[in-house]
Chain A
Amino acid sequence: MLTAYLLLAGLVFAVGLFGVLTRRNAVGILLGIELMLNAVNINLVAFARYGAGVAGWILALFVIAVTVAEIAVGLAVVIVIFRVRRTIEADHLTLLRG
């Protein structure tokens, strides 16, 4: 049964990764990252249930808290970028391109 949960988490992770790689909108990319972190949480809680004990729960809690912080700051950055550049399409934000 543990394997089933881990495979589910791996699948959701892969779908999130696909979203991060293909989305153009910066917010869309952040949604993909959300899915990946969600998959990690499923992994942690599954391991907590099947052997790791409360440490898995605690780490999952920390991941949720860090995700909330990351989303807040990430979206603030997206808003600032939109204010300055009037676009948040990843293809148009090429200032750092070599």
Chain B
Amino acid sequence: MTGEAAAFGAMALVLVGSSLGVVLARNLFHSVLWLASALVATAGVFLLLHAEFLAAVQVLLYAGGVVTIVVFAIMLTERLVGQTIRQMNRGLVGGGLVAGTVFLAVALAVVRAPTPAAGPGPGDTAALGRALLTTWVLPFEVLGALLVAALLGALYLAREEP
């Protein structure tokens, strides 16, 4: 077993285990912690795919920012102070069936699809930066506008009641 395959197996195990922890944990805080673990495992997968910049962004924005904001939201929506939020799941069988069917469909499509032609690969972070500012500059700028809009929207929605 090559090093890459072993590392991939380890990362995949952590990722799938953490994902199951996210959806099955009774305590919502524990779910968020499992999500942080899953996001860091995904950063590890990115490193295996030679996407260092994306791994760093993943840890910074996802595991850092998103997890923090979700923890804040949980704290703000707790019913009683000090009571852990218990989760009751509903429709486990139906949900499991649907999710299982989706996974089977995806797996069949993936396994049967012909291998795509090997391309040159993405290059390094400098290539990413150059592409962002030349070929993809328009979506890049629109993304900036989207982030401003989302910020303003979130601020306005969650503002103090007068």
Q: Give residues in A with beta carbon < 8 Å to B.
A: 1-8, 10-19, 21-25, 27-28, 30-32, 34-35, 38, 41-42, 45-58, 60-62, 64-73, 75-80, 82-83, 86-88, 91
Contacts and interface: CB of A to CB of B under 8 A. Distances in A.
Interface residues of B, number: 84
18 contacts: A18-B23, A22-B89, A27-B73, A27-B77, A42-B45, A45-B45, A47-B116, A48-B51, A50-B119, A52-B119, A53-B120, A55-B131, A65-B146, A67-B62, A70-B150, A73-B154, A75-B72, A76-B153
Looking at chain A's contact residues, the main secondary structure is helix
Contacts of B85: 25
Nearest to B35: A31
A4 B8 contact: yes
Contacts, number: 238
Given A45-B46, A76-B158, 11 more contacts: A17-B95, A18-B98, A21-B98, A25-B28, A31-B32, A48-B51, A49-B51, A49-B122, A62-B143, A65-B146, A87-B79
